[in-house]
Structure 1
Amino acid sequence: MERVEQNVMEPVGNVNLEETKLEVTRRFKRFLFKLELALQQKGMMLFLIGFLLGRALILSHLTPFALPFFASVFMIRRDRAPIVFIGLLSGALTLSIGNLVYTFAVISLFLIAFRLSRQFRKEELNALPFFVFFTTITVKLAFTYVNQQQTLSLYDGLMALIEAGLTFILTLIFMQSIPLLSIHKRKTSLKTEEIVSLIILLASILTGTIGWRLYGLSVEHIFSRYLVLLFAYVAGATVGSTVGVVTGLIFSLANVSSFYQMSLLAFGGLLGGLLKEGKKFGAAAGMLVATLLIGMYGEENVSLIPTLYETLAAIMLLFLTPRNLTERVAKHIPGTPEHSHHQQQYLKKIRDVTANRVEQFSSVFQALSKSFAQSGRLHEETSEERELDYFLGNVTEKTCQTCFKKEQCWTKNFHKTYELMREATLDLEEGTLSGSVAREMEKHCVRAKRVQEVIQQELAHLQANQKLKQQVQESRKLVADQLLGVSKVMDDFAKEIQKERENHHNQEEQIHEALQSFGLEVEKIDIYSLQKGNVDIDMVFPYAGGHGECEKLVAPMLSDILGETILVQNEEYTGFPGGYCYATFRSAKAFVVETGVAFAAKGGGLVSGDCYSTIDLGVGKYAVAISDGMGNGVRAHHESNETLNLLQKILQSGIDEKVAIKSINSVLSLRTTDEIFSTLDLSIIDLQNATAKFLKIGSSPSFIKRGSKIIKIEAGNLPMGILREVDVDIVSEQLKAGDLLIMMSDGVFEGAKHVENHDLWMKRKIGEIETNDPQEVADLIMEKVIRAGGGGIEDDMTVVVTKIEHNMPKWAAIPVTKLKKKKNAS
């Protein structure tokens, strides 16, 4: 019994342990995020950096770091300059009163000179290093002159020039590296110069720890080796050895006794980077081996045991470094797997969107190919019998119409006469008339010779006709095959297509800053489009319980930042504590539409020759179309339905409306020799500004109901399929919120009997309708027309009513920009 209870309790214990680990991880991430946020927003990080740089020395008495750091912060983050100034003075004070006075004097003189020369300079950033150079050399010479009792030597001048030169170079370096320390700097990758500048800044900061000891261990040695270990583990041997060389060189300049550190750090970075495939253990092993080798075969006055302890302390710091931090660093260094993965994620969605567009073009060509192929098969099945009937009809018209025995032959003996002429036609088509058929013709027909002559004449036209139709059929098949081939090529191309993601660094930084000022932690932002009305942004947030933050906070803040209404299109959760929320934000349309439809087939039948379609074109446009196939029944329904299918595929592929109409007209005129045509009534509404384009091809007028005002929309184009080339007239109209767009087929427009002016009658009936519900309006119009037609349905009827309204978002925009201005002003 105890064993059973133990087996039952073990899974529960494992689950609780796993949940506890996830909770601890989540809280630790939140703590790091809040700590980083506090350091950035309160300026504590810049204060600490200023403190360490204020006490950093080179060649035991040169302090070239303070002024370049202050000048760079003054130009890049002027609001943080006072905090940096206090940090630098605090660091200088730990060295001596003289260093404090010198630091205060050089920064003050820089501010005065920079202020006085404001009206004479044009490029502040380009002039900054020169101001730093001349300020440093002036103050350095003045302090040396005072300290040495009004005497200056060549050595003093040379040292002042060296320090001023270092400040000039460090200013250029700090101007590149300081922005990289900001939490808002979200560049996807760093250039080589930026990486080196950042390393120099970090190494310069570490020089401020020279002289600090913890339990007999040197703090600068521990952190310098940790820095090398971190970059070697993240970026490999090249970057690791570079960090080691740069850090060791700066340390050796700061303290000549630390010159051997450059060899240890460079060798440790190289070995650690080479062994990075072993994860943190590999990098640690490389640094440990380098420490042992340099310690045993290096300088004699260096003790191996303290050096080994310092390396072990750095290794411990590496193992304590959270994985999230190493991944963030690796993501910005080109050549790392994390950086490559990040770039691939950037490219993925653009690649998918482009491939989807190509696939839409492929489906258009495939539909055209299918249309041609189906048309060819239908005509092949019925062409022979139909051609024979037409042929015999022409022969009869030229011979039997004026014969006195026409009634006897075609009324009383129709089948015998038809079969006899059919046999004669088949014989003459092969060459000569057989004897039996000739004798039968002589007995049955008084104009047998004339009939044979006319048949031979018509056979020549028939053969020419058949040859031409065969050529058309072959051409139709060729076009179908070509279209299918193009479709296949584009489909293959869609699977291979690749396109670079457009970078929006400034906007990403602004969004990061706004969201984090509200205390929202953002893991990642991918901006794919900022086009007005077509914004597309993906974000990743740490899962916070699913309380609607994206809809209630993030989307309203984006609405204010981007200047248009943004909505959450999609939101997904990983489904476990400590996971992530993936959200997609898209532009909200300024207008929305609601559609109502009423239709009826002729005589109350089941199949109508009218077809309608409502199409979301996917680029902020909405299309409504009605097609009326000539006649009624299945054939008319097939023609109108095929017209709308082609229209939908072509428009959704992004082709211009005029080109789409002309393409459909060419298809309809080429694919059939029958006189079967289709009308088309198309309206395309832009949901951003409510402008509408109307294309009417042989269709009835449309009407716009705006309160008590009725506006008529019409155009005079022939139905599609009659002419090979058609001129498409586009009528544009500005719609307003509350408008009702009423489109109808000719069965509705001309359905009322005993009405002389259908325009006035329809306007009056539409004006009498009091409701604004589109479905009710469509039903009422249909009812009024049927009643006015005597209760019967003489033609296919279709009416489509579309209502345009403002899109009212659920949540108002949060004024982030105004809050930010108030905060800066205060």
Structure 2
Amino acid sequence: MEKVERNLIESPIGEVDFDGTKLELSNGVKKLQLKIESILFKKGLILLLIGFLLGRALIIAQLTPFALPFFASVYLMRRDRAPLALIGLIGGAATLSVMNTAYTFFISFLFLLAFRITKKWLRDEVRALPFYVFGTLLLGKLAVSYITAHQLTVYHGLMASVEASLGFILTLIFLQGLPLLSLSKRKQSLKTEEIVCLIIMLASVMTGTIGWHFYELSIEHVMSRYLVLLFAFVAGATVGSTVGVVTGLIFSLASVSSLFHMSLLAFSGLLGGLLKDGKKIGVSIGLFIATLLIGMYGEAHGSLTKTILESSAAILLFFLTPQSFTEKLAKYIPGTPEYAAEQQQYMRKVRDVTAQRVAQFSTVFQALSNSFSQYSGIADEEDTERELDYFLSNVTEKTCQTCFKKEYCWSKNFTTTYEYMAKIMHEMEGNNQSLPPNLSRDWSKHCTRSGKVIDAVKQELTFFKANKKLKKQVKESRRLVADQLLGVSEVMGDFAKEIQRERENHHKQEEQIFDALHDFGIQIEQVEIYSLEQGSVDIDMTIPYCQGMGECEKLIAPMLSDILGEMIIVKKEECSKYPNGFCNVTFRSAKAFVVETGVAHAAKGGGLVSGDSYSMIELGSGKYAIAISDGMGNGERAHYESNETLELLQKILQSGIEEKIAIKSVNSILSLRTTDEIFSTLDLAMIDLQDAKVKFLKIGSTPSFIKRGNKVIKIEASNLPIGILQEFDVDVVSDQLKAGDLLIMMSDGIFEGPKHVENSDLWIKRKICEMQTENPQEVADLLMEEVIRSRSGNIQDDMTVVVAKIQRNTPKWASIPVDISKKEA
């Protein structure tokens, strides 16, 4: 049998038959559903049906307040369908009596007459409509009472006022409820008022079925219980019981004999909603239990059988209701899973659109960067030749135009003359406007106005150099813009990828962690896992008040570290302010390494303002940046330049732009910002806290040193200070740090400070190696003290030294082994 089933499943023919039949059946159901919706909603027949039922609906067995509010609402909102609604109302009234038929037609005509006459004075038709209905019903009821009874009594006035008041309220309800019967896709959820209005309208429509029976089963009882089942299944106990109470109340107003059913409907809505986790069967069981309990106490045994049969008929209709209908209804009711899924899908669409727009902006910036950085060698050569032609044309315009040998030089000996003048131009440009004697002699033989030509070349050369420098600055500015646009493009591209990341479902892992901690004896209220990615774990927990015992840091974090196979620490903790409350704790992945720093600095001559600046900051990308900048000279201006350099660099690095692009941007900004010859050095070290790799980017700075045990390693690079050149390449020196290493960075005041020392490298290395301490602050203080001692206590220059110690991040509490598979969690 198993082989037969497997062959049948794996058979292509069988698969096509089953799938084809299922698909054909599904398409047929959809077509039938669309056809029914088209007939009922698009053609307006649903209004005809509702009008028919409302036309025969009564309150207290004699009032008909439903007809005019329904007709007035349809006339205002769907004027083209108003005739269908009026036909339905008159048809329904005709099933009661001829008098009701005439009354329905009369008050509808009276309303139309009054509304059309006074319409031009109305500012807000929607707000005025209930008052029109109230006045029309009051006058119409009084007129009919006077015609039939030939007098008006207090009773007649009281009944007319009651019907008019009900019409006023029902108009407000129908104005809210009618739009919900359309096929238009609603983007917003149903408000509580709209849900109540919809229930009242549906219950009012069902009062039109009072007196109808099918095989001795009351249609109004079957339909009302079906309505309660539907809403209890879709929205739960709260809405289900509300539907039961409202429906039962309206039925009891229509018929006093239906008062007993209000408790049945309310109780069945409550039980059905509580048992909705059992799907349709659970909701149906709730109705059966309510029917048995209320039926046994409310009526005789014979009526109990009839009540059970009516509930069975309602359950049958409930099971025949398509799932697509209940899912569509649930999407608009807050609190349902379908509504949550719809909201999540909407948020996902918003997220995708946002990510797409950000990615498009990233592409735009990438294209702009490419357009700014496209410079080819051929174009540069063409520009050089064109500039040379312009240069020589300006020279010849001032000298050769009035020369009698012009024809001889430029017509017969063009190549020779051109080459001579080009050579003169290049030689004077490279030799500070002086010519070699042999070239000057040869040119004097060739040209009768050689001296005048040389003077003209000197004059034009000044303008040529200025123009060339200006073009170089423009070119460098374009490269700066290109690099910055490229950096922004990369940052926006990464941001678009981050937007598209969703919170993954970790229900299984949450339960495993919950059970593991619970088995260990730790009480946990809730566990929410946002990320389990290696190095970026993010877990939130809610625990009972721990009385300040440090349970999270001492127990939970070590256990999570053992479960997840990586170091977990308490990132944030919000403790309850009262003993019976809860604490919210956030656990995150710890960095593999930590950096401990020490700084020593002094201004020239013991002053208060130093030209050196330093910065130490942990970037969000898991990197630690240490930077020293030395402004040219001393005092406030040097301090301003160095501090400005570090502030610009820090802001650019925090935005996520690469280090090399950040330094080039700072250099270009400082060089283009002012014409003053104020420059600054930059010494930057970027330490990766996950693997302890370090990148050194040195711009005009002194060497750095790494102390590893008794060994001292020198790190240096060759670059001019920031702001001197507008175009330069940043040399990046990479190294691998180890736990226990000391990184020493210093300004030139420390490196070049020792007096009577020929080799500063060896002196600094020896002093670092001789130090017995590994405390960063002590190393910095001792090194500065040694330099000052060598100068006999004099501080000849601004001095700054930063020492960083690399250590493994070991938690305060050791991990506690837990009996759970790491792979599962």
TM-score (normalizing by structure 1): 0.45
Larger radius of gyration: 2
TM-score (normalizing by structure 2): 0.45
